[in-house]
């Protein structure tokens, strides 16, 4: 087992929690490489009746634990606990909800902290992934679970990227589509923020080109700094001004400084630096129009009934990006705007507004 001073990744021998595992075999990647012996960790809730399966896709640092308490195997409570469960907006009394840890992640699915076929940690040799590669793995999981068509595919942020790819690449497998705070392609602004975070990790002396798992320390400082940079973009200027302003603490730190350090430390306890780099790089690859005649042409392939929502205070995924989706997906309702002071994280925080939209789509 890898020491906690190296990575927060889930490892063989750690408590399983509610995880299950699917061995989906080899995945041929967009790069032309083959990733062998791929495994996805996943969780399910509810009972499958042949037509009620819902795929919930997590964002960059999420995982398969969408709903449920913290406990052995799960450092944090479910990240969408207010929306998914019996009687909730995504009602597990009548729907069969599936959530998988993303390919390249660090909570049980094949990723850089996993062992390669030779029994060594992949580390820096783990191949580059695209969003389409990740969806290819999720399609293999759906096949293994015997789910030919999803009642709904739901995703926010990076999860929305994968939801889009699902609906474009396999329109006959997606009946309804819920997109939150996402885009048709990664923008220059988003790539700039992402690559700066990746460079913060690589600049940590413990990174060692990604081959740090056998060392006494991992690039935890770099990962924490990357999270702090990201978290600024996840929240709104108005919220930070109202909550923290120029207040200082007894130790002399600005309150906002302490807040960001806290969030950096929280991520370090449950995530892996290599996965952060691999997943960020995959998000930067996102462009639904690549090889499909452009964004408008790609979006015209979607046949699902759709709801697209943006957050009015989102400075990371500004609302014009969701407007583009709503205008070019033929089956989309007009753009829904979630009112929030919380910026991009509003898709996680505003459970009442997001829940109302989910009910409208899912009936």
- Structure tokens belonging to residue 8: 């927060």
- 28-44: average pLDDT: 98
What are the backbone angles phi and psi of residue 245, rounded to the nearest 5°?
A: 50, -135
Q: Are 74 and 17 in contact (CB under 8 A)?
A: yes
Tell me the residue length of the chain.
363
Contacts (Cβ under 8 Å, ≥6 apart) of 218? 5, 6, 7, 206, 212, 272, 273
What does the pLDDT read at residue 3?
Answer: 57
Show which residues are catalytic: 157, 314, 344
Reported as a single tens digit per residue, the pLDDT across 158-197 is 999 999 999 999 999 999 999 999 999 999 999 999 999 9
Reported as a single tens digit per residue, the pLDDT across 100-136 is 999 999 999 999 999 999 999 999 999 999 999 999 9
Q: What per-residue string of b and e applies to 167-198 under the rule 16 or more CB within 10 Å gives b? A: bbbbeebbbbbbbbbbbbbbeeebbebbeebb
Reported as a single tens digit per residue, the pLDDT across 142-162 is 999 999 999 999 999 999 999
Q: Which class for 34: exposed (0-12), middle (13-18), buried (19 or more C-beta within 10 A)?
A: exposed
Q: Are 244 and 50 in contact (CB under 8 A)?
A: no
Which residue reads 């705070």 in tokens? 181
Closest CA relative to residue 324, chosen from 179, 129, 222 = 179
How large is the greatest C-alpha to C-alpha distance in the chain, in angstroms?
59
pLDDT score of 350 more than 50: yes
CA–CA–CA angle 357, 263, 282 (5° rounding): 65
Task: Give me the percent of the chain exceeding a pLDDT of 90.
Answer: 98
pLDDT score of 2 more than 60: no
What does the pLDDT read at residue 358?
Answer: 98
What does the pLDDT read at residue 247?
Answer: 97
What distances in angstroms separate CA 128 from CA 161, 292, 323, one per listed residue? 17, 21, 30
What does the pLDDT read at residue 30?
Answer: 98
Cα separation, 188 vs 202, in Å, equals 21
pLDDT score of 334 more than 80: yes
What does the pLDDT read at residue 1?
Answer: 47
3-class secondary structure, 254: strand
How many helices (H) and strands (E) in the chain? 11, 10
Q: For all residues of the chain together, what is the average pLDDT? A: 97
What does the pLDDT read at residue 5?
Answer: 87
Sign of CA dihedral 350, 51, 41, 226: negative
- Structure tokens belonging to residue 4: 């906690």
What does the pLDDT read at residue 363?
Answer: 81
CA dihedral angle for residue 344, residue 191, residue 336, residue 64, rounded to 10 degrees: -60
Closest CA relative to residue 114, chosen from 2, 222, 276 = 2
């Amino acid at each position: 087992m890898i020491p906690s001073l190296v990575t927060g990744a889930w490892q063989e021998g750690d408590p399983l929690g509610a995880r299950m595992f699917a061995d989906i075999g080899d995945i041929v990647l967009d790069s032309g490489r083959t990733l062998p012996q791929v495994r996805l960790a996943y969780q399910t809730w509810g009972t499958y009746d042949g037509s009620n399966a819902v795929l919930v896709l997590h964002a960059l640092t999420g995982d398969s634990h969408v709903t449920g308490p913290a406990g052995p195997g799960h450092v944090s409570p479910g990240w969408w606990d207010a929306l998914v469960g019996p009687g909730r907006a995504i009602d597990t009394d009548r729907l069969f909800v599936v959530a998988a840890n993303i390919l390249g992640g660090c909570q049980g699915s094949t990723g850089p902290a996993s062992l390669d076929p030779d029994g060594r940690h992949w580390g820096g040799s783990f191949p580059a992934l695209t969003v389409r590669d990740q969806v290819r793995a999720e399609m293999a999981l759906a096949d293994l679970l015997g789910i030919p068509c999803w009642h709904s595919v739901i995703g926010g942020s990076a999860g929305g990227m994968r939801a889009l790819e699902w609906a474009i690449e396999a329109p006959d497998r997606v009946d309804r589509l819920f997109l939150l705070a996402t885009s048709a392609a990664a923008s220059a602004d988003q790539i700039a923020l992402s690559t700066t975070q990746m460079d913060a990790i690589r600049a940590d002396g413990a990174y060692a080109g990604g081959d740090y798992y056998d060392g006494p320390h991992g690039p935890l400082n770099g990962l924490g700094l990357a999270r702090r940079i990201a978290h600024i973009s996840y929240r709104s200027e108005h919220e930070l001004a109202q909550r923290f302003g120029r207040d200082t603490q007894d130790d002399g730190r600005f309150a906002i400084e302490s807040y960001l350090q806290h969030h950096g430390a929280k991520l370090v306890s449950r995530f892996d630096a290599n996965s952060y780099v691999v997943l960020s790089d995959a998000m930067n690859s996102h462009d639904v129009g690549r090889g499909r005649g452009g964004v408008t042409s790609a979006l015209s392939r979607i046949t699902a009934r759709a709801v697209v929502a943006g957050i009015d205070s989102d400075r990371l995924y500004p609302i014009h990006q969701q407007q583009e989706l709503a205008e070019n997906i033929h089956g989309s309702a007009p753009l829904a705007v979630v009112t929030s002071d919380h910026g991009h994280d509003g898709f996680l925080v505003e459970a009442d507004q997001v829940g109302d939209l989910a009910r409208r789509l899912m009936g």
